[in-house]
Amino acid sequence: MKLNQYLIKNEKHYLNKQIKDISLYSKYTLLFKLDKEEGLYISLNKTKQGIFFYHVDNELKKAENPFINRIYPRLRNGRITKLSRHDVDNIYEIEITSDSPYIFQKVTKIIILFFALTPNIYVINEDNKILDHLLSYRADQNKINHLYHHEPTIHQDIEIPEINYENIYYYAIKEIRKKERRTNLNKYLTNRLKQLENKKKKIEEEHLKYLSYIKTSEIINNVFNLGLNLKAKYHQILIDNITIELDEKISLLENVNNIYKRAKKAKNEDKLYNNKVQQLLEEYSLIKADQEQLDNISESEVFILEKKYNLIKNYIEKNITNKNAPYFINVDGTIYLFGKNIDQNDYLSFEYKTNRNFIWFHIKDYSSGHVLIKKEKPNEREIKIAATIALLTKKMKRGEVIYTAKKNLRRTKNKGEAIVKNYSSVYLNEIDERIQKLYLEAKRENLH
């Protein structure tokens, strides 16, 4: 089997294609065989999630799977009439229309959830009622009351609760966050244990060094019996068959005094050695105990551990001030917010609490004001208006402006600076005079 490019990039090629056969390639892979020995390869496998074209020379093996047996009569010989990505990230939809007289409702939708923890394939009818799903998760049954497994009849749809994309998505994200919290906490505790091990090793090395200083001071006492010139300079001396290295830049007497001082400090430090080691061992055993119970404790107990190790950040939302308050204009009922300096840009992009799916604008490859449309799906005209405002913040008459959802911004170490991913762009050749006038008349308000 040969996999080709990702489906969504060339979905028009497969519109109105007829489904000749359906099979499971593996537990997490569903195949739709189409015309000309081509088909769709839907993989829920965590290492390679996605929808792909495939080409196969031999017949698909018919899997004896209850899910396939149930959906086969409804989907076989149906035509693919729509391939799209849902507004919620990682949810894709394949719409299949059947010409069979035995199917009461002609349109069936295949909803594919590419989630890290709970990927799944749902079959729903044109009224958005769930008919079936490929995989079952205990978490779904316990915590999402609208996801159930049903045995539909072939000729009649069953009235069951509507599927709610947003709830499924945010529940899955919540589960991912739970796992991430435990993983991050475990990683932190592992690092703390390694730090303590390294610290103990360093203390033991210092202890050996202090013992050598003390021993040298005891030996150096006999230097006065050797009849050496105490004002002379030596790089080393031999006492009781033991060689003692000296600083040849200073006299023997000065070396002896330095050795005594070093030994005195070593004795004081050595008295603390046992206490230091004991404290490290106690801290190590406590952290080790917390780490070992991490998989068996509740979310509230995880939170307590995070607070214990100062992993909970106390975020303080910045109040809007005369310094950071952004400007705004209202064009035909749509609100456009924008900043003219670093403080306003930083507040608007990272501190201002609003819908993270609102669209954000910035001039490409230049510093400029940040612009935000208070709308998730602006039309072409609204996009051009926001791009015009971005150009006006830089006093440019033409240029390319990038835009993306606010959730795709990442903060940098520099105030008012953003890292942007998954953006689109628009190029403007001129400035709309009406927008320029509104821009110049824009005011700053308390947005809260």
Query: If you write DSSP's letter for every residue of 83-139 in order, what string do you get?
Result: EEE-SSTTEEEEEEE---TT-SS-EEEEEEE--SSS-EEEEEETT-BEEEES---HH
Using an 8 Å Cβ cutoff, are 180 and 99 in contact?
Answer: no
If you average pLDDT over residues 118-126, what whole number do you get?
82
In this structure, the answer to whether residues 277 and 421 fall within a common structural domain is no
In angstroms, the Cα distances linking 175 to 127, 178, 180 are: 28, 5, 9
Comparing C-alpha atoms, which of 268, 134, 281 is closest to residue 197?
Answer: 281
Question: How buried is residue 316: exposed, middle or buried, by Cβ count under 10 Å (0-12/13-18/19+)?
Answer: exposed
Q: What is the pTM of this model?
A: 0.37
Q: What does the pLDDT look like over 300-315, one tens digit per residue?
A: 788 888 888 887 654 4
* Domain presence at residue 351: yes
Using an 8 Å Cβ cutoff, are 29 and 41 in contact?
Answer: yes
We report the CATH number of the domain holding residue 93 as 2.30.310.10
* Domain presence at residue 257: yes
Q: What does the pLDDT look like over 234-291, one tens digit per residue?
A: 888 888 888 888 888 899 889 999 999 988 888 888 888 888 889 999 999 999 998 8
pLDDT of residue 26: 77
pLDDT of residue 181: 77
* Domain presence at residue 173: no
pLDDT of residue 147: 35
pLDDT of residue 1: 47
In this structure, the answer to whether residues 137 and 224 fall within a common structural domain is no
- Cα 306 vs. chain centroid, distance in angstroms? 19
Name the pLDDT band for 152 (thresholds 50, 70, 90).
very low
pLDDT of residue 427: 95
Q: Given the DSSP bridges, would you call strands 38-43 and 327-331 parallel, antiparallel or unpaired?
A: unpaired
Using an 8 Å Cβ cutoff, are 259 and 217 in contact?
Answer: yes
If you average pLDDT over residues 332-353, what whole number do you get?
90
- Position 149 pLDDT exceeds 50: no
d(CA 38, CA 26) in angstroms, rounded, equals 18
* Domain presence at residue 178: no
Using an 8 Å Cβ cutoff, are 163 and 111 in contact?
Answer: yes
Q: Which two tokens stand for residue 35?
A: 């015309």
* Domain presence at residue 364: yes
| Domains identified in the chain, total number | 3
In this structure, the answer to whether residues 155 and 27 fall within a common structural domain is yes
pLDDT of residue 440: 92
Q: Which of 88-97, 139-148, 223-232, 304-313 has the highest mean pLDDT?
A: 223-232
In this structure, the answer to whether residues 134 and 276 fall within a common structural domain is no
- The DSSP letter of residue 350 is I
Select from 276, 308, 340 the last residue of a domain: 308
Encode 14-47: b = buried (16+ Cβ within 10 Å), e = exposed.
Answer: beebebbbbbbbeebebbbbbeeebbbbbbbeee
Helices 165-220 and 252-271, axial angle in degrees (round to 10): 140
Q: Which two tokens stand for residue 343?
A: 């403080």
Give the mean pLDDT of the chain.
Answer: 79
* Domain presence at residue 183: no
d(CA 226, CA 195) in angstroms, rounded, equals 47
Instruction: Scan for tokens 């501190």, then name that residue.
Output: 351
If you average pLDDT over residues 202-221, what whole number do you get?
88
In this structure, the answer to whether residues 202 and 296 fall within a common structural domain is yes
Q: What does the pLDDT look like over 171-196, one tens digit per residue?
A: 554 555 667 778 888 899 999 999 99
* Domain presence at residue 170: no
DSSP 135-178: ---HHHHHH-TT-------SS-----PBP-HHHHHHHHHHHHHH
Q: Which domain holds residue 119?
A: 2-163
In this structure, the answer to whether residues 130 and 206 fall within a common structural domain is no
If you average pLDDT over residues 156-165, what whole number do you get?
41
In this structure, the answer to whether residues 9 and 151 fall within a common structural domain is yes
d(CA 408, CA 418) in angstroms, rounded, equals 10
